A and B are shown apart, each in its own frame.
Chain A
Amino acid sequence: MPQPTIELRDPYRAAFLAWLIPGLGHFYQGRTGKGWLYALCILGLYFVGFFLGEGKVVYWRWVSPLSNPEKFCIYYPGQFFVGLPALPALLQGTLHYFAPDMNAPFWGFMAEPPQNILNGMHPRLGKLVEIGTIYTTVAGLLNILAIYDAFEGPAYLDSEEPAAEEPAEAIAGAGREGVKAGGPA
């Protein structure tokens, strides 16, 4: 029986688009159902978290994690994988690094909030600050799965569900064999 295939088009472009906007890589591949699922789940989580943290839980500052771990924004590397929605923070952090005396552009949108504002958020919002941070970070981490799915295809194709008695080695590469990557666009 011939293996079913999934047309991944250009997987590198699909992966880049999937990073840029969650779900976009799948729309590009014609996998619209999955595109909507990823977009709704990942962007939904991200924006709810962003809203819960009053837009002050996603920011970046250029410091070394080794020499200054206290100041290092440990959550942003996760949030970064949401793509475009998290990029203004990187832009603001970079502008601040090169021009610390300059006022943050775009009314300070996603720039690092002053310490007194950050300190004031916790008594006022309580756990919502942490939940907002977790939501936005998990959204980015989930998009890594979506990016990998756009690049490589799913682990199992429709007819390749691993049987209980099959050894693990036999099914390890099953998803990849059936996926036709890099076909004509």
Chain B
Amino acid sequence: MTIAPANVYWLILPLVVSISLVYAASRHESWPRIWMHSLRLCLWILGVLIGSTALLLLINTQV
């Protein structure tokens, strides 16, 4: 089985979603709180990943 190199990055999503859900579920017992916490965490992780990638790309184009 092969996946086009560009499509490999989509595999980050299930990883981030799973990490967010499991972490949030380990912190709360109430479902609304689990969903909210996992959504926030998911956005945070994706934001950090996208931000750091953008920064590295920016640095890469300057050197």
**Given the known A-B contacts A33-B31, A155-B28, are A44 and B14 also in contact in the complex, defined by CB atoms under 8 Å?**
yes
Prevailing SS type, chain A contact patch: helix
List of A residues within 8 angstroms of B28 by Cβ: 154-156, 158
Are A41 and B22 in contact, CB atoms less than 8 angstroms apart? yes
Are A142 and B1 in contact, CB atoms less than 8 angstroms apart? no
Number of A-B contacts (CB under 8 A): 80
Asked if B41 is an interface residue, CB under 8 A from chain A, the answer is no
Mark A124-137 against chain B: 1 for CB-CB distance below 8 A, else 0.
11111001001100
| CB-contacts of A90-122 with B (<8 A) | none
Asked if A38 is an interface residue, CB under 8 A from chain B, the answer is yes
Are B26 and A155 in contact, CB atoms less than 8 angstroms apart? yes
Are A148 and B26 in contact, CB atoms less than 8 angstroms apart? yes
Prevailing SS type, chain B contact patch: helix
Mark A31-50 against chain B: 1 for CB-CB distance below 8 A, else 0.
10110011001101100100
Are A126 and B14 in contact, CB atoms less than 8 angstroms apart? no
How many residues of B are in contact with the other chain, CB < 8 A?
A: 23
List of A residues within 8 angstroms of B19 by Cβ: 138, 142
Of B8, B14, B26, chain A has the most CB atoms within 10 Å of the CB of B26
Which of B3, B14, B15, B31 interacts with A128 by CB under 8 Å? Answer: B3
Asked if A177 is an interface residue, CB under 8 A from chain B, the answer is no
A154 to B19, CA, bound (A): 16
Closest 8 CB pairs of A and B: A41-B18, A145-B26, A158-B30, A149-B26, A142-B22, A155-B27, A154-B29, A45-B18
Contacts A37-B34, A149-B25, A154-B28 known; 5 new A-B pairs at CB < 8 A:
A34-B29, A125-B2, A135-B15, A148-B26, A154-B26
